[in-house]
Structure 1
Amino acid sequence: MSIQAFLRQGFIPFNTALETQWERLDELIPALAERAAHAAGTLGTPGKVALIGIGASLGAEGGPAHYLDAHGIPARRVNSGGDPRFDPAESILALSQSGRSRETVEMIRRSERPNLAVVNVSGSPLAQASDAVLELGDLSDSLASTIGYTASAAAVSMLAETWVHGAPRDSWSGIGGRLAAFLAANTAGVNTLVGWAHAAESIDLTAPEAQFGGAEAGALLLREVTRIPTAAFETRQYLHGLMESTRESTIHLVYRGEDNGQVLAALTSLGRRVLDLCPAGSAAIPGTLRIEIPALSELEVPLYLAALLQRVASQYCAEAGIDPDEFLFLDTGTKLDDNE
């Protein structure tokens, strides 16, 4: 398959993908849990693990890497665009929705470490190059990823839970319905965010380390679809000077962690437009738009963030007259042809 053929096959409109995403995710979850448990057993519980990827896939690995590390399995995220050195005791988990991300496939081909790939497209170059494979099932998706991202994030999270606990959590059942209900309950918040976006020159997403990967993926989605300059920042880094560039035209989306009270207090003191994304039951902070994230575990949080920002992006594009399926740069050499 040529890269031109790949880019034109199987994609559905962004808004169509959003309409069916949560029902499809709920249908997929039972099979995904079985596949994750099987794949985790095939590779075995790693002594150490490097989670490699690029773009949204690297973002989807952030929560699981933090979770593994916090539960006694040393783990790190690795940008497959770099040239890292792997520990002899380190296994590799590679994620690429297309299975054609050039940097990720080439890193697996060079590596001599035990490895497991998570892909959406069966028979892809990454699937062929890996020791073991967890396939999402050739899910139809839009060019700006919807279910490809949320299913990938769930799959890698289930792998992490299996390595730590022996099986994925039962709470994944019904996650699609809960995400749909979350969006329905926050229509007013979405409308406010979209209104802010029309006057925004930039958007900053801030999150603690455990949720930083989800923030990265969210920033990428907004950049791709709305074309508003958007960036993600880890909370402690943001406090060390990065927030100095805030302007009246900056929107701040802050996932509340242990230290984000400082970020919220500083920004609201300047009268900035701030979205406080906080765990359910958190105390309100004056001067912010507040949206509660009713996740049942920390690994679900990135899916809630993705759901919210996908909806914001869709509505913003509809109002601004932007086609969410029109990309300026379709082929930049980042995907492999079949003969490569």
Structure 2
Amino acid sequence: MEPKASFVDAMRAQPENLALARETVLRDLAAASLARWGADESVAVLAMGASLNSSHALVAALAAAGRPACGVVASDVADGLAVVRAHHSIVVSESGRSPEPLAAAGRLTPGTRIGISNFPAQPIAEAVDAVLGLGGFPDSPVYTSGFTATILAYALLLDNVGALDAAAQAERIPGLVADALRDYAEVAERVGRVLAGATTIDVVGRGGSLTAASELSLMVREGLRTPSTSFETFQYLHGPMEVLSSDDALVVFGDGREVSIPSSVLDAGVPVVLVTAADPSTIPGAGHAGLTIVRLPQGLGVFERAVVETVIGQLAIAAAIEHKPFPLEDFLYHQDDTKLPVR
């Protein structure tokens, strides 16, 4: 059986788990001897759930370099509802047993498929042409270490094939996570209270920050049992935000249009959390009692920032569950077909 850990234990073990993941991915990349990718060659990430949320960081990083990439719902490809003709495909399954990504891999061109998994000896090994392991560390049912380790693996993979210069980001990520777990613990308690008191929670971000936004929304649904949806920033402005009331909460990640979103809802009594590297003097709602600003350091790369933002979300979830009458790790509903048998 896969080793499991509590959410808090797995969250706090991330610096060590990420260091292990970096060593393991580098070893597997050396063994795989992957060819260099051409500048115009496209990339698709095929995954489900949290793993698909991680793809936003890869897509944003490649887009910034002018390289085509996309994240695709694996079940759509498996069922013929979407067709992928990318030059390279990354099939992500932390367990190595998610049936949809494995079935989708069967519709892809052999020789183009790279897997990422915490358990690379599971069925994913037969579904792809090369698989990068994360180290086999214990993870929580609401994923923590496996999610951030997948982002680290993207950075190492893209560096290895010459698509991006990202190895330095991957090297810094374990230390950045250790710092984040320490530095954001206090503000996360306040954010946790906001999340715990909300009837519904909207989470907004774009580009690489959509990684943390979509993952926080999923953690809210899985862990806090609270309705939540994530939105791309400008898409959110085109109608979805109209349902917000003082019973709800809004979490926003970003430094651009994101910094002015809070001011449009704060006076309606909506509590807002803004995670940003922007100077507080540029934030219209700064100082409002309903706004919690979580400051990010300047200069983080796309992968670094996605991981740090995700850890802030994890800390907030860990704080919020203390205000709930149920444990974080117990899911109410169990599906028998979301994982293949352990072999």
Instruction: State the Cα deviation string for residues 60-115 of structure 1 (Å, max 9, x = none).
Output: 1111112113313211111112121122x532111110111111000002222521
Code of the residue aligned with 1:296 in structure 2: it is L
Instruction: State the Cα deviation string for residues 154-187 of structure 1 (Å, max 9, x = none).
Output: 1113223444556533233242332232232233
Residues 1:103 and 2:100 aligned together: yes
Query: Which residue of 1 is the match for residue 322 of structure 2?
Result: 318
Query: Which residue of 1 is the match for residue 258 of structure 2?
Result: 260
Query: Which residue of 2 is the match for residue 66 of structure 1?
Result: 60
Separation in structure 2 between the aligned mates of residue 265 and residue 169 of structure 1, nearest angstrom: 38
Equivalent residues in 2 for 1:149-188, closer than 5 Å: 149-164=147-162, 168-188=166-186
Report the CA distance between 1:146 and its aligned residue: 1.2
Separation in structure 2 between the aligned mates of residue 129 and residue 27 of structure 1, nearest angstrom: 24
Contact 1:52–1:95 (8 Å) recurs in 2: yes
Separation in structure 2 between the aligned mates of residue 223 and residue 22 of structure 1, nearest angstrom: 25
Structure-2 change in CA distance of 1:120 and 1:104 (3 Å):
same
Contact 1:71–1:164 (8 Å) recurs in 2: no
Structure-2 change in CA distance of 1:84 and 1:90 (3 Å):
farther
Separation in structure 2 between the aligned mates of residue 262 and residue 38 of structure 1, nearest angstrom: 48
Instruction: State the Cα deviation string for residues 32-81 of structure 1 (Å, max 9, x = none).
Output: 34545665x51541511111111000011111112113313211111112
Contact 1:205–1:219 (8 Å) recurs in 2: yes
Query: Which residue of 2 is the match for residue 3 of structure 1?
Result: none
Code of the residue aligned with 2:102 in structure 1: it is V
Structure-2 change in CA distance of 1:36 and 1:70 (3 Å):
farther
Query: Which residue of 2 is the match for residue 20 of structure 1?
Result: 13
Query: Which residue of 2 is the match for residue 54 of structure 1?
Result: 48
Separation in structure 2 between the aligned mates of residue 174 and residue 256 of structure 1, nearest angstrom: 21
Code of the residue aligned with 1:79 in structure 2: it is V
Tell me the TM-score normalized by structure 1. Answer: 0.88
Contact 1:37–1:168 (8 Å) recurs in 2: no
SS of match in other structure, 1:331:
coil
Separation in structure 2 between the aligned mates of residue 97 and residue 29 of structure 1, nearest angstrom: 15
Instruction: Give 5+ residue unaligned stretches, structure 1.
Output: 1-5
Contact 1:250–1:272 (8 Å) recurs in 2: yes
Separation in structure 1 between the aligned mates of residue 14 and residue 273 of structure 2, nearest angstrom: 25
Query: Which residue of 2 is the match for residue 246 of structure 1?
Result: 244
Contact 1:284–1:290 (8 Å) recurs in 2: no
Separation in structure 1 between the aligned mates of residue 20 and residue 176 of structure 2, nearest angstrom: 13
Contact 1:218–1:305 (8 Å) recurs in 2: no
User: How many residue pairs align between the two structures?
Assistant: 330
Contact 1:63–1:157 (8 Å) recurs in 2: no
Structure-2 change in CA distance of 1:37 and 1:156 (3 Å):
farther
Structure-2 change in CA distance of 1:20 and 1:261 (3 Å):
closer
Report the CA distance between 1:27 and its aligned residue: 4.3
Give the fraction of aligned pairs with identical amino acids, expressed as a percent. Answer: 25
Structure-2 change in CA distance of 1:300 and 1:247 (3 Å):
same
Separation in structure 2 between the aligned mates of residue 56 and residue 198 of structure 1, nearest angstrom: 21
Code of the residue aligned with 1:235 in structure 2: it is T
Query: Which residue of 2 is the match for residue 132 of structure 1?
Result: 130
Report the CA distance between 1:143 and its aligned residue: 1.3
Structure-2 change in CA distance of 1:338 and 1:145 (3 Å):
closer
SS of match in other structure, 2:96:
coil
Contact 1:119–1:127 (8 Å) recurs in 2: no
Code of the residue aligned with 2:245 in structure 1: it is R
Query: Which residue of 2 is the match for residue 290 of structure 1?
Result: 293
Separation in structure 1 between the aligned mates of residue 325 and residue 175 of structure 2, nearest angstrom: 30
Query: Which residue of 2 is the match for residue 42 of structure 1?
Result: 34
Instruction: Please give the root-mean-square deviation of Cα atoms over the aligned residues, in Å.
Output: 2.3
Deviates more, 1:44-53 or 1:132-141: 44-53
Deviates more, 1:281-290 or 1:303-312: 281-290
Separation in structure 1 between the aligned mates of residue 12 and residue 64 of structure 2, nearest angstrom: 35
SS of match in other structure, 1:307:
helix
